[in-house]
Every structure is written in C-alpha cells, then in structure tokens.
A = this chain, B = another copy of it.
Amino acid sequence: MAIADLPFDLSSLTVFLAVCDNGSMAAAARTLKVTQPAISQTIADLENRLGTTLFDRNVRPLALTPSGTVLRQYAQTMLAEVRLVATGIQKMRLGRVPQLRMGVVDSLARALSTSISDFMHERVGRLIVHAGLTETHATALLTRQIDCVIGVDEMEDVSGLERWPLFEEPYLLLYPEHETPPRDTAELRDFLGRHPFIRFSQRSRTGAEIERFLRRLRIDVPFQQEFDLPYGVYATCRTRGVAITTPLCLYEAGYTQGCGLSCHPLPTPAFHRRLTLVVRRREFGRFPLDLALFLREQLKQDVMPALGTLFPAFVEQMRVLS
C-alpha cells in the first residue's frame, strides 16, 4: 500500500488524462497497453479518493463532468511539472550542477585555472575553488565541505568515491646547476647529506610520498626547511638547498631554464606522482566524467608542450592518463 495518504497518485492522473484524450476507457487501454478493466478500476478508485464523479458513463462517447473538467486542467499542469522536475534532475545528471566546490592542489592552480573557468562557465552555476593541500581536501570531501578534489589521491582506501586518473609525472632532484648530480643511491645519500634539504609539507601527499621514497632508500635526511607551496620550495632552492619535486610543481612555481637550478632524474626504482579527479559516487551524474575528459585534453594540448620544453629529459615519463 502507498505509505502516504494522498488524494491521488500520478499514475491515476496519467490514466485519467489518457481517457480524456482518447474519448473512451477502451481506447485509453489500447494506448496504454493494458486491459480495459484496469482502466475502469483505476478511474473508479480515483473518483472514490476524490469523492466526485469525473466521467458521465451514460452517454457515448464519455463526457467529462464539471469536476472532471477541472481535474483535467490540474492534471495536465501537474504532469508537465513532473517532467520538468525529472528534466531538472537529469540536467544535473548530464553535467549541469548549480554549485560546485572544488579543492585543487596548489601545483595545478596555474596549469589549469584559466581553462577550468571556461569549462565550468556553461556547466556550473557557481564554482568555488579551494587551493590547498590534499590532506585538507580529503577531509573536506569526506565531510561534504567540498564536492570534488583534483590532486594526489589521498583516499585510496575509502569506498564510495569515483576516481578519474588525469596525469602522471616523475619526481626529480632539483639542485644548483654548478653541482655534479648524484648517479646512484649511495651518491644521492651523500649528496643530500652535503646540502640543505628543502621539503614539502608532511601534511601533503606529495611530501609524504617523498619521505616514504627516501626511507625505502634508507636515506635519512634531516630537512632544513618545509613549505606548503611549490613556490616556497623553489624560491628557497634558488638561494640555497636542494629538493625533490616534480615538473608540474616547478612549472607552477615559475621555473625557467637559466634560473641557476637543474633537474636530475632520481635513481630507480621509478617514482611517480599521480594526479586524480575524485568525487563522491553518483552525485553529479556524468559531470565528473566530462570534467576528467576535459582536463586530460587541456593537459595534453597546453601543459605537456610547455613541460616538454622545460624538462626535455623527462618527456617520456610524463603522461596524460585515461
């Protein structure tokens, strides 16, 4: 039984309008592909619930009563609104969202912000972008303070999320260009021991991954300074120090050739950073898929060429994912 005590239901209204439009219950039954008694009983039940007669059965074709005439108007309006509601919800499913709050890691702000703005303009009523660390974004996503995250996926063990891989890039050593870079793990350990190590915040996934990498190589590096933003790490290295970072981070920080710093691959095993679009499952229809496709295209068309120019030694290791 229906939980709610309602004077009618939408199915009954649909049947009622079909009878009005077709001129008889038998014809309405044929149109709706059910039997004629199904229509007869549905109309009788509707009349019972409304407490009034809707059709005059003593003439052929059926005639509407005054109550029936009034209900017909209401019913047409109401069913049109049902379609509007469904269409409105479906627009959201198909990508149109009224408000989107997104967390973007610092390293992508410069690379994507202009093109993201264009993409969002026709798809999102209101866009709110939070720059910051993935740790903060992860918490905010899980507590529904933001709706999606672009960054290093900090929530691989969390269910109920959708993930769209975007980009993969290698970590690299940033060092003064007049130095001789290390060629193996032993030389790297020695090299990092002889230079101040500037590291990313441990609250960031990137910083945490770098620490894990060094522990795997049994390199215990006392860091001299720690920064949240890629620019902070880069600017300090230009004064004194070395860092482990990525091409995108450097691109974001404004790195140029001739800035007095060089980039050197790290010793194996390969060590990469992956950027992912993360949203809660099934809340925005296909919007996240569209956004991911768009971001990949922007990375491929705009960002990759710029990175290729700046970091020719790393081109093979930077990939737009799918």
Contact = CB atoms under 8 A, between A and B. Distances in A.
Interface string A187-210: 000000000000000000000000
User: What copy number does this chain have within its complex?
Assistant: 2
A167 B258 CA distance: 112
Interface string A63-83: 101110111001001100110
Contacts of A8: 10, 82, 85-86
B285 A34 contact: no
A58 B144 CA distance: 10
B89 A71 contact: yes
Contacts of A240: none
Contacts of A7: 82, 85-86, 89
A14 interface: yes
Contacts of A3: 11, 14-15, 32, 34, 38, 42
A2 B9 CA distance: 10
Interface in A13-52: 14-15, 32, 34, 38, 42, 50-52
Interface residues of A, number: 55
B50 A143 contact: no
Contacts of A67: 89, 92-93, 283-284
A48 to B, nearest CB: 11
A42 B142 CA distance: 26
B92 A6 contact: no
Contact of A160 (B4, B38, B58): B58
B92 A70 contact: yes
Contacts of A106: none
Contact of A6 (B52, B82, B147): B82
Interface of A: 2-4, 6-11, 14-15, 32, 34, 38, 42, 50-53, 56, 58-59, 63, 65-67, 69-71, 74, 77-78, 81-82, 85-86, 88-90, 92-93, 97-99, 142-144, 147, 160, 280-285
